[in-house]
Amino acid sequence: MNTTATAPPLSPADRCDRCGARALVRAVMPGGGDLYFCAHHGREHAARLREVAIDIHDETGALSDSPEPINES
């Protein structure tokens, strides 16, 4: 999926149009509307979205960022 630098970041309020989970993928459609998908549904529909979307903003890479370990006291 392509990532665009000009698209605003997705917020926690953006929800997947399929299941209601947090959206990490936004597909800009030719008619001007946007489709929002969680990581799972974004992967499921990726091939078709690449065919029809004008742009795809993909933030699923944020899922693999490793947080700092919690130090036990």
Residues 7-18 pLDDT 10s: 689 999 999 999
Look up residue 35 and give its two tokens.
């489709």
State the pLDDT at residue 61.
87
Q: pLDDT below 70 — which residues of the chain?
A: 1-7, 65-73
Closest CA to 61 of 8, 9, 13: 9
